[in-house]
Structure 1
Amino acid sequence: MNYNVELELTNKTESYAFGQVAKQANGAAWLKCGNTVILATVVVDETDFVDEDFLPLTVQYIEKSYAAGKFPGGFIKRETKPSDFETLTSRIVDRSLRPLFPKGFANPIQITVMVLSADNDADLQVLALNAASAALYVSDIDIFTSVTAVRAAKIDGEIVFNPTREEMENSTLDLYLAGSRDDMLMIEMQSIGSDEVEVLDALMIDPIIDSAGMAQTMPVRRSNAMSEDELITVLERAQEELKKANTSYESAFKPFAAEPFELQCVISEINAEMAEYVRATHTDDLKKGINQMAKTERSTALRTIRKNIMKEKPEWDEHELKKAIESVKRSMVRAQILDERVRADGRGLAEVRPISIETNVLPGAHASALFTRGQTQALVVLTLGGAKDAQMFENLTDKGTQNETFMVHYNFPGFSVGEPSPIGAPRRRELGHGNLAKRALEGSCVQNGQTVRLVSEILESNGSSSMATVCGGYMALRAGDLEMADPIAGVAMGMVSEGEKYAILTDIMGLEDHDGDLDFKVAGSKEGITAMQMDIKLGGIRLDVLREALFQAKEARSHIIDIMLASEAKIELNEGTLPSTDLFHVDPGSIADIIGQAGKTIREIIERFDVTIDIDKKKGAVKLTGKNREGLRGARDHIEGIASGAVQPEKVEYKLGDVVTGKVKKIVDFGAFVELPGGVDGLIHISRLSEGHVSRVSDVVKEGDEITVEIVEFKGNKIGLGRAK
């Protein structure tokens, strides 16, 4: 490949080839960084346009398994359904590039990003956006603004830009920032909690001394919520990185840009006569309609106004009138906010809607929380499990499969907004909102080796259901008796701006999201931010304005957390269904007795008390997980009794000639393994199964059969068996 451009950027080198592949696309870029190769293409339908008020942009990010020398996982050995990572990356590219298109661009446009070769250390989300932006820049679409991405990490207290994946493993910050030379356009941020550490339980005046003679310890998750001031400082530095990178991109790509065709923007002209008539005759009705907070009620009110006007002006075009009413409504909402500093529902700019919280409303679930804020309601349900319940996954650049032990699944049924839509597979928005809530909560949760699944069912939505999921998720975790480093809440912020005038809105509802200029979700504790997501419709935001919005969001979080803590104090656990976990230590020298011969003792404990047991043989650490606390206490008492010598596990010793009855445990070609009383295993060879010739072991015995055998030989620790006569 003949590379036309090679750019030296912070901690990496990117090489681009233009005009050599995918030549029938409107634009194409072949990007190489290390051993990673990405092809991005842009195709626009120049003959068609969409007569709707939205940009018909589709972004697809696709990873090819061959890029890492792998076969696709699963039964079908070809790429099919996109993974969550592919879907989330498609969303990131879409949200970053969408602000570039002028208002009224109505031609369907498709951006495809394909990973053809993958380096284990590559940041595929950053490279995907860079490649897509390069393809758009050199295309014949009249857009000559470069948008690229930078990722920032915080490692040992230092900010690192464009870190490797190995470096990210030691980072307490994951900040993805997309923007042009002058403007930030999209932010994704997560403050990552440090690993669980074991510390002495400071709440105990007299620490409990366990059977190993050790003071009882408890796992603690240290919070790494980032302060607002520190985040602004990082964003300032990241913006400098973006300016430097985009200046280099635009200078290098300009010679390869195609001659642009004339964009045919469909600008919806508002009928001035209709708009003036609406203002003159139906302002009061429109104000009443705006004050209807629910989307369905508001739509009904606006539709009624339209029908009444059509009776008064039957000669008018109803579709044209609908646009005029919508335009007047939007200007009224914005003017009321900017001029009167009052919102459509009567709230002040920084006021949070009324909140109510109920916990453990589902007696059959492990834990649940019903969080309601205004007309947004989330039912968040917690399920706890063990390591086997984790979600297995493998990203393209992973060396092997990984286990996801903290999951947040967000569902948005149509009835939550009064729409009769079918419920199907989660869409991009649902995956994105669930991922945001996961990033907000995971770093503060002390899992104790458990697998955690939160499912958020949005029952009603009028703004910020993802942040209701964060708040409800925290309450569900606490209702499940899981420790949290900090109380975590989330709030959606908005902004309305005209010229130099602007207003920052706390806890926006759907109307303000639709008619506003900023969608800004921030989650965290009273001290700082754990996750953030921002999409900017203006084309950029000043850092001083962003700082003001961050601190206004902090005040709202503090208010919400106070309400949550008051509700947390009233939680009654679902004792009958909630599984429990216990961590304690024993003398490592007693582990062999706890396990027993061939695991007999530990199996008996598991069956008797209905628990799962994990043991660290070197440290003597024992972790119990059970369906109820009674069984957990019984198992712990029994194990500590064995460790102290108070309980003597059964020991069985055999000698030659003993005749015993055992159970066939496993069949192999040369014989059968038999479990004897005391948990000891022996082998009966195929030649000793019967007096006559035996072709197959399974012709004589089956797994699970009881069989009477004689001890015929000892070979070290192995016992040889014969068929008893």
Structure 2
Amino acid sequence: MDFITINSGNRTEEFALKQVAKQATSSLMYRLGKTLILASVCVEREPVSEDFLPLVVQFLEKSYAAGKIPGGFVKREGRAQDFEILTSRLIDRTLRPLFPKDYRYPTQITLMVLSHDIENDLQVSALNAASAALFLAHIAPIKSVGACRIARVDNEFIINPSASLLNQSSLDLFVSGTKESLNMIEMRSLGQKLNALEEPLMLEALELAQKSLKETCTLYEEAFTPYQNELLFKESEGIALNERLLDLLTNQYFDEIIKGIESSALSERENVFNEIARKISEAHSEFSLEEIELSLEKVKKTEIRRMIIQDKIRPDKRALEEVRPISIESNLLPMAHSSILFTRGQTQSLVVGVLGTDNDAQTHENLEHKAPIKERFMFHYNFPPFCVGEASSIGAASRRELGHGNLAKRALETSIKNKEQVIRLVSEILESNGSSSMASVCAGSLALYASGVEIYDLVAGVAMGMVSEGQDHAILSDISGLEDAEGDMDFKIAGNLEGITAMQMDTKMSGIKLEILYQALLQAKEAREHILKIMHEAKEKIVINFSHLPTTEIFNVAPDKIVEIIGQGGRVIKEIVEKFEVKIDLNKPSGEVKIMGNKERVLKTKEFILNYLHSLDQELEQYAIDEVLEAQVKRIVDFGAFLSLPKGGEGLLRKQNMDRCQVVLKEGDSIRCRVISFNKGKIALDLA
């Protein structure tokens, strides 16, 4: 076993090599304080023929890592939780750009959390462990990468804060990259206020992250290089394309290629290029279909990038900074609490808002928190196949859908004033041609307002792209699906006029320089200002239907009265909920009653509950201790019998009292009994 210690900044990371999982291509045990992660890389020796990178990343939390047994009926870890999926995506998006373009060996990277101290950052640790295991596997000439998190407490930036410090922060910035550049960013604002971060401060935070990553990656390379496996895959020069076929496409089919490039819909564009390939295949049998498709893709990509870099014009004829036309409609769905249809070009998001009670909040269990946590603001993003013209069925939420929903949630979360309010927003993507997650942010912000939710400000989102050739590059505002597919960067930025509330950056290159990122941030601000102007105009036209919106009424009763509202086996509260069509939350220790629903129904429910409790009190006042009564058996239970009393109400004759007198009762029997006590609103009886 080999043991490596890395001291970088405020972290001491330990890596145990060749200790466990020795049959994997590479494996290590990562340790930071009391956090231990097993990282393994497994590679199949036979490449696949499909044209994609066969990389799978799995991040797995084990409940025993925090000394817990899984909650729920089944005491075994089941399907991946949202945090596990989002962390897997975080690692995948960091590592994927580092692989050679023609790498085709199926590769599985697995991160298992075996022990966790909640003060340590699991995502930073997991990415660093994955990076080290991949570097040691040496399956391709892949650079070492690292990760860090930046917080901002009392206007000071902090690198890799503890969990308690992050809870005090107004910023959560996760950055990964090499020692030369950044290749993945996740950011959100934190706190009770909006806390949007201005662009110059964002650049300062990114510079701090780059400095930290340079130190970390340099140390990793120096420490791990002597332990690398023998190189498995050497990057090739790529497939040599047929020059005669390229000339044919450029000279005879160029106009049709341009027509395909300028087609705005994905399905329409695919039809054009499929038709070109079919024509060439029929006319020139000497070329294989694979050759034709590869050459066609090459000509298409070259022309798109030339148009953008040299002509400063985009496939849909927009200028580089131009945002597509926007339209906004509200109150489309009469039964929802809010609904906004946001259309930008050929991207369309219908966001529906629903308000709920505490019982509607989503409960999560993970290693980051000692107890289950409640997610009060939920944002669910759905991408049905028909939105891009695909003929396939709708299934469970994909990793991508979870990731996009999480990004939209992070963008809007701090804009909500009352963080205790339970809100669910659902974005249904009805049409997609790029930037659907940012359309969801725009529609979601307006949906919050239309639901009567108090917000600090509207938040808008825009996706920025980049195309680079040599020393030249162009930044694109509001990228389309084609520009996303053929470009080098996808940089989603959301915020208000003051600054940024959330952002996410991915790249197909090995990394992006800071000066390019800052240029994109400034250009995104201009686009955001344009979008927000349109959103504010739409906001003024929104009519909030307060009569349809749920209202919440909170009042207190004596804590011992809560059981009366619940009733035997929940009978009373079920009847109240069904009768008035409301939701009720009860707090036994404090006596708090929270009713939510239609305003008129809520007020009637409150009146009913108070009158019901008052009537019970009046019933008690009619009886005296030692009073003898003629009562009728109402129902038999395990612990006794409930008796209907002659002046109203009911009392309990306990089983031990019946057993003492050797009395056997059945429902409907009449019996003489005596009042012996009043306890928490209940009348206790004995046989007379």
User: When the two structures are superposed, what TM-score results if normalisation uses the length of structure 2?
Assistant: 0.89
Match of 2:463 in 1: 492
| More displaced 10-residue stretch of structure 1: 364-373 or 652-661 | 652-661
CA contact 1:593–1:649 (8 Å) conserved in 2: no
Match of 1:324 in 2: 295
What's the offset of the Cα at 1:470?
A: 1.0
Compared CA separation, residues 674 and 247, structure 1 to 2 (3 A): farther
Look up the equivalent residue of 1:88 and give its one-letter code.
Answer: L
What's the offset of the Cα at 1:678?
A: 12
CA contact 2:557–2:593 (8 Å) conserved in 1: no
| More displaced 10-residue stretch of structure 1: 505-514 or 354-363 | 354-363
Compared CA separation, residues 373 and 650, structure 1 to 2 (3 A): same
Compared CA separation, residues 135 and 651, structure 1 to 2 (3 A): same
Match of 1:4 in 2: 3
Match of 2:51 in 1: 53
Aligned residue runs from structure 1 range 159-174, under 5 A: 159-174=157-172
Give, in whole Å, the separation in 2 of the partners of 1:85 and 1:582. Answer: 34
Structure 1 residue 570 and structure 2 residue 541: aligned?
A: yes
Match of 2:23 in 1: 24
Give, in whole Å, the separation in 1 of the partners of 2:594 and 2:319. Answer: 51
CA contact 2:170–2:195 (8 Å) conserved in 1: yes
What's the offset of the Cα at 1:260?
A: 1.9
What's the offset of the Cα at 1:636?
A: 8.0
Match of 1:62 in 2: 60
Give, in whole Å, the separation in 2 of the partners of 1:71 and 1:626. Answer: 34
CA contact 1:11–1:163 (8 Å) conserved in 2: no
Give, in whole Å, the separation in 2 of the partners of 1:146 and 1:299. Answer: 37
Structure 1 residue 627 and structure 2 residue 597: aligned?
A: yes
Look up the equivalent residue of 2:81 and give its one-letter code.
Answer: S
CA contact 1:686–1:694 (8 Å) conserved in 2: no
Aligned residue runs from structure 1 range 191-590, under 5 A: 191-194=189-192, 222-263=193-234, 265=236, 267-447=238-418, 449-574=420-545, 577-581=548-552
Give, in whole Å, the separation in 2 of the partners of 1:144 and 1:286. Answer: 35
- Partner-residue secondary structure (3-state), 1:569: helix
What's the offset of the Cα at 1:497?
A: 0.9
Give, in whole Å, the separation in 1 of the partners of 2:146 and 2:685. Answer: 74
Compared CA separation, residues 117 and 715, structure 1 to 2 (3 A): same
CA contact 1:391–1:404 (8 Å) conserved in 2: yes
Q: Give the total of aligned pairs.
A: 678
| More displaced 10-residue stretch of structure 1: 108-117 or 429-438 | 108-117
- Partner-residue secondary structure (3-state), 1:299: helix
- Partner-residue secondary structure (3-state), 2:541: coil
Structure 1 residue 96 and structure 2 residue 67: aligned?
A: no
- Partner-residue secondary structure (3-state), 2:426: strand
| More displaced 10-residue stretch of structure 1: 605-614 or 309-318 | 605-614
Compared CA separation, residues 13 and 420, structure 1 to 2 (3 A): same
Superimposed CA distance per residue, residues 43-90 of structure 1 (whole angstroms, 9 cap, x where no aligned partner): 2222x2123332111111122222222233334333331111111111
What's the offset of the Cα at 1:477?
A: 1.7
Structure 1 residue 112 and structure 2 residue 110: aligned?
A: yes
CA contact 2:560–2:680 (8 Å) conserved in 1: no
What's the offset of the Cα at 1:341?
A: 0.9
| More displaced 10-residue stretch of structure 1: 88-97 or 651-660 | 651-660
What's the offset of the Cα at 1:673?
A: 6.7
Stretches of structure 1 lacking an aligned partner (at least 5 in a row) = 195-221
What's the offset of the Cα at 1:502?
A: 1.1
CA contact 1:106–1:266 (8 Å) conserved in 2: no
CA contact 1:181–1:246 (8 Å) conserved in 2: yes
Compared CA separation, residues 576 and 332, structure 1 to 2 (3 A): same
What's the offset of the Cα at 1:308?
A: 2.9
What's the offset of the Cα at 1:449?
A: 3.4
- Partner-residue secondary structure (3-state), 2:246: helix
Match of 1:655 in 2: 624
Structure 1 residue 712 and structure 2 residue 675: aligned?
A: yes
Match of 1:693 in 2: 662
Stretches of structure 2 lacking an aligned partner (at least 5 in a row) = none
Match of 1:176 in 2: 174
CA contact 1:606–1:612 (8 Å) conserved in 2: no
CA RMSD of aligned residues (A): 3.5
CA contact 1:363–1:574 (8 Å) conserved in 2: no
Match of 1:79 in 2: 77
What's the offset of the Cα at 1:353?
A: 0.9
- Partner-residue secondary structure (3-state), 1:484: coil
Match of 1:158 in 2: 156
CA contact 2:674–2:686 (8 Å) conserved in 1: no
Match of 2:685 in 1: 722
Superimposed CA distance per residue, residues 194-217 of structure 1 (whole angstroms, 9 cap, x where no aligned partner): 1xxxxxxxxxxxxxxxxxxxxxxx
| More displaced 10-residue stretch of structure 1: 656-665 or 476-485 | 656-665
| Structure 2 counterpart of 1:132, from 116, 130, 133 | 130
| More displaced 10-residue stretch of structure 1: 50-59 or 71-80 | 71-80
- Partner-residue secondary structure (3-state), 1:352: coil
Look up the equivalent residue of 2:198 and give its one-letter code.
Answer: S
CA contact 1:366–1:480 (8 Å) conserved in 2: yes
- Partner-residue secondary structure (3-state), 1:16: strand
What's the offset of the Cα at 1:462?
A: 0.7
| More displaced 10-residue stretch of structure 1: 608-617 or 536-545 | 608-617
Look up the equivalent residue of 2:28 and give its one-letter code.
Answer: A
Give, in whole Å, the separation in 2 of the partners of 1:521 and 1:676. Answer: 69
CA contact 2:145–2:217 (8 Å) conserved in 1: yes
Give, in whole Å, the separation in 1 of the partners of 2:550 and 2:99. Answer: 52
CA contact 2:630–2:645 (8 Å) conserved in 1: yes
Look up the equivalent residue of 1:8 and give its one-letter code.
Answer: N
Compared CA separation, residues 256 and 597, structure 1 to 2 (3 A): closer
Superimposed CA distance per residue, residues 601-646 of structure 1 (whole angstroms, 9 cap, x where no aligned partner): 99999778665577999999x885432233346678999999xxxx
Structure 1 residue 684 and structure 2 residue 661: aligned?
A: no
Look up the equivalent residue of 2:653 and give its one-letter code.
Answer: I
CA contact 2:124–2:147 (8 Å) conserved in 1: yes
| Structure 1 counterpart of 2:188, from 187, 190, 211 | 190
What's the offset of the Cα at 1:280?
A: 1.2
CA contact 2:357–2:596 (8 Å) conserved in 1: no
What's the offset of the Cα at 1:283?
A: 1.9
CA contact 2:463–2:479 (8 Å) conserved in 1: yes
What's the offset of the Cα at 1:193?
A: 3.5
Match of 1:205 in 2: none
What's the offset of the Cα at 1:379?
A: 1.6
Compared CA separation, residues 655 and 692, structure 1 to 2 (3 A): closer
Give, in whole Å, the separation in 1 of the partners of 2:392 and 2:311. Answer: 38
What's the offset of the Cα at 1:329?
A: 1.0
- Partner-residue secondary structure (3-state), 1:453: strand
